[in-house]
């Protein structure tokens, strides 16, 4: 990768970056739009119905809006884009019905018939009213699926475009409630049977969502919907490829590098190093076997470029992916309760991902309620984006792997929480410092005396795994050690320390310990340069700890201790009392 020219004075305008809530046509107002209209046109020349599933924040809704504009407004919003080239798109406009099932009221307290009627009238029929295809008075008469079908059959052939966003949302939202899940499974099966039976009325029909269902889960008619999820021709229809990122965001990447260098914390040494870290943190998603590109999700990349000074934050996880459904946590708990320590370490080892040997067919089964005996949490991990196709697996036997560093660290933390909270784990006995000594070392501001025992404790993980541990993982392991010693209470597990990982712990005799964790990325440079960089990181962390203020609701303390913990190259190298 070639090094770019020096950054010019002034930063590029972040207002031109795609915003969190955006729409097709934004490029006409100066915002950046990654041109995906080649895929839109290729798809729109056909009739469908089509289905595309991808994890959240990958640009599914933007593609749906692109198709909506193409069919409803023609080329009016496409100036400068591929679709506007002469002869590329010549079709006329159509009424477009745009449904979004994420807005459905999922309550079933009033019974199946009431839920079905409400769904037909308000979540389906009303959108046809908005498109001018029938009146509100006519819509009020559609109190059954059969009447809805008859109304659709009255439309002229190939006269309407139907776009459905979050096509399976009621099922995703009710996964932890088998009774409600079953009601919505029946209603959606009936609805899609109607849509497929009336497909001649639609010029084009396109569904998007997160979880992929088959005919087994949503009825035999659903099997007639063409699934694009694993189609290599549409592998990058949403999401950003590396080439697209460098083409459309190059000035912002250069600017991000300069801002990170100015801040001086874990700044990549070069443009090539920046791109490598971007790939490790924000790409890795791959949905089709063979030689198809890995993808960035749009959310991570845009929010990083908008404010890079805090480094590679895990925006995708923070926006909703951080919390596994209760059923998936239960799955992990059951899975790990059957395993010994060595197997747990193997599961979170970064050179042998948790699903490396899983056949793809195992995770493509239809989604089930979490309480179902056949529920497979690993399948949901793939569907929700935590697992992806392994780029190194053979084309004929695709395997799965964890998508990127952010997800690896998150799931590692989940596994550690589950594993270390079980009394049977040898790890709880693996910390060879007595509880009394641990308390005395910390209260007397001698935390460095704990380091040898902590390092032996951490050695249960491979060096390769530890080299990838984020500060949150080091914090989680350290807090679990203190819990195991007894007499320590964690006051807050998500304290913000100006972008640094922090934890606040108290003892029953009035001592308060404020831990700050940082990881020094000192892989490049001379020995002196590495030492200087590590010292700078430690000083920065110490300054933030010194300025940290305790919350009033935490009470008063007789002693307050501030401890800066620095990790480097897979080792906890220092724990310093300030």
Q: What is the pLDDT of residues 101-152, one digit of tens each?
A: 988 888 888 788 888 888 888 888 888 888 888 888 888 888 889 999 999 9
- Contact of 271 with 1, CB cutoff 8 Å: yes
- pLDDT at position 320 is 60
- Nearest-angstrom CA–CA distance, 483 and 142: 60
Q: How would you class 263 by CB atoms within 10 Å of its CB: exposed for 0-12, middle for 13-18, buried for 19 or more?
A: middle
3-state SS track over 507-530: ECCCEEEEEEEEEECCCCCCHHHH
- Nearest-angstrom CA–CA distance, 489 and 506: 5
- Contact of 238 with 52, CB cutoff 8 Å: yes
- pLDDT at position 2 is 38
Nearest to 172 by CA among 58, 55, 319: 55
Residue 39 has a CB neighbour count (10 Å cut-off) of 21
Alpha helices in 16-105 (DSSP H): 37-44, 60-73
- pLDDT at position 326 is 56
Distances (CA, A) of 200 to 35, 125, 194, 290, 444: 30, 18, 12, 34, 79
- Nearest-angstrom CA–CA distance, 50 and 547: 55
- pLDDT at position 75 is 94
- Contact of 575 with 447, CB cutoff 8 Å: yes
- Nearest-angstrom CA–CA distance, 151 and 395: 46
- pLDDT at position 226 is 92
Could you give the residue range(s) of every CATH 3.40.50 domain in the chain? Answer: 15-234
- pLDDT at position 469 is 80
- pLDDT at position 428 is 43
Return averaged pLDDT per consecutive 10 residues of the chain, 578 residues in all: 44 82 75 93 94 89 93 93 95 95 84 87 87 88 89 94 93 83 90 93 95 77 87 92 94 90 71 88 83 86 88 76 53 54 52 48 56 60 77 68 75 64 44 80 90 82 75 83 80 64 87 88 65 78 81 84 88 89
Cβ-Cβ contacts under 8 Å for 515 (sequence gap 6 or more) = 475, 478, 502, 503, 504, 505, 563, 565
**DSSP line for 227-266:** E-TT-GGGTTSSSB-HHHHHHHHHHHHHHHHHHHHHHTSS
- pLDDT at position 237 is 95
Cβ-Cβ contacts under 8 Å for 489 (sequence gap 6 or more) = 505, 506, 507, 508
Q: What is the DSSP letter of 296?
A: B
Cα 273–278–281 angle (5° rounding)? 125
What CATH number does the domain located at 15-234 have?
A: 3.40.50
- pLDDT at position 215 is 66
- pLDDT at position 4 is 39
* Radius of gyration, CA atoms only, the chain: 27
Cβ-Cβ contacts under 8 Å for 18 (sequence gap 6 or more) = 26, 31, 32, 33, 34, 298, 302
pTM of the model as a whole = 0.75
Termini Cα distance of the chain: 43
Tokens read off for 81:
């884009």
- pLDDT at position 240 is 93
Tokens read off for 46:
């056909």
């Amino acid at each position: 990768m070639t090094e770019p020219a020096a950054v010019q004075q002034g930063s590029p305008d972040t207002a031109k970056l795609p915003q969190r809530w955006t729409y097709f046509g934004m490029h006409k107002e100066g915002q950046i739009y990654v041109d995906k209209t080649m895929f839109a046109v290729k798809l729109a020349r056909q009739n469908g119905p089509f289905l595309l599933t991808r994890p959240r924040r990958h640009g599914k809704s933007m593609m749906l809006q692109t198709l909506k504009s193409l069919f409803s407004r023609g080329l009016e919003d496409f100036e400068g884009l591929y679709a506007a080239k002469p002869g590329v798109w010549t079709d006329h406009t159509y009424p477009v019905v745009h449904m979004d099932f994420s807005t459905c009221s999922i309550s079933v307290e009033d019974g199946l018939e009431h839920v079905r009627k409400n769904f037909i009238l308000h979540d389906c029929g009303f959108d046809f009213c908005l498109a001018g295809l029938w009146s509100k008075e006519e819509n009020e008469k559609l109190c059954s699926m059969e009447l809805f079908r008859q109304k659709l059959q009255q439309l002229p052939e190939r006269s309407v475009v139907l776009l459905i966003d979050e096509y399976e949302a009621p099922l995703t939202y009710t996964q932890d409630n088998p009774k409600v899940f079953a009601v919505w499974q029946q209603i959606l099966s009936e609805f899609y049977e109607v849509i497929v039976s009336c497909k001649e009325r639609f010029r084009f029909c396109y569904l998007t969502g997160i979880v992929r269902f088959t005919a087994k889960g949503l009825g035999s008619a659903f099997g007639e919907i063409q699934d694009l999820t694993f189609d290599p021709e549409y592998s990058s229809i949403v999401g950003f490829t590396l080439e697209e990122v460098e083409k459309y965001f190059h000035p912002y990447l250069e600017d991000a590098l300069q801002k990170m260098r100015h801040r001086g914390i874990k700044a990549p040494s070069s443009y090539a190093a920046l791109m490598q870290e971007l790939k490790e943190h924000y790409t890795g998603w791959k949905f089709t076997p063979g030689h198809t590109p890995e993808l960035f999700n749009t959310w991570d990349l845009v929010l990083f470029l908008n404010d890079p000074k805090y480094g590679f934050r895990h925006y995708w996880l923070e926006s909703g992916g951080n919390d596994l459904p209760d059923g998936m946590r239960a799955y992990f708990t059951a899975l790990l309760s059957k395993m010994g320590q060595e197997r747990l370490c193997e599961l979170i080892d970064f050179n042998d991902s948790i699903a490396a040997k899983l056949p793809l067919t195992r995770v493509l089964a239809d989604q089930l309620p979490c309480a179902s005996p056949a529920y497979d949490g690993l399948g949901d991990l793939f569907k929700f984006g935590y697992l992806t196709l392994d780029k190194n697996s053979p084309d004929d036997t695709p395997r799965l792997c964890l998508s990127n560093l952010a997800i690896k660290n998150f799931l590692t933390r989940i596994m550690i929480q589950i594993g270390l909270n079980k009394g049977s784990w040898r790890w709880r006995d693996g910390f060879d410092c007595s509880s009394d000594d641990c308390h005395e070392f910390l209260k007397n501001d001698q935390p460095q005396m704990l380091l040898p025992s902590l390092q032996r404790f951490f050695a249960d993980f491979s060096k390769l795994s530890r080299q990838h541990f984020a500060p949150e993982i080091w914090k989680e392991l350290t807090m679990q050690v203190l819990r195991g010693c007894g007499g320590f209470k964690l006051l807050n597990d998500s304290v913000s320390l100006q972008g640094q990982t922090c934890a606040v712990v108290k003892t029953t005799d009035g001592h308060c310990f404020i831990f700050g964790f940082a990881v020094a990325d000192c892989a490049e440079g001379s020995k002196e340069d590495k030492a200087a960089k590590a010292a700078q990181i430690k000083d920065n962390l110490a300054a933030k700890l010194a300025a940290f203020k305790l919350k009033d609701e935490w009470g008063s303390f007789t002693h307050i201790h501030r401890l800066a913990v620095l990790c480097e190259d897979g080792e906890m190298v220092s724990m310093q009392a300030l």
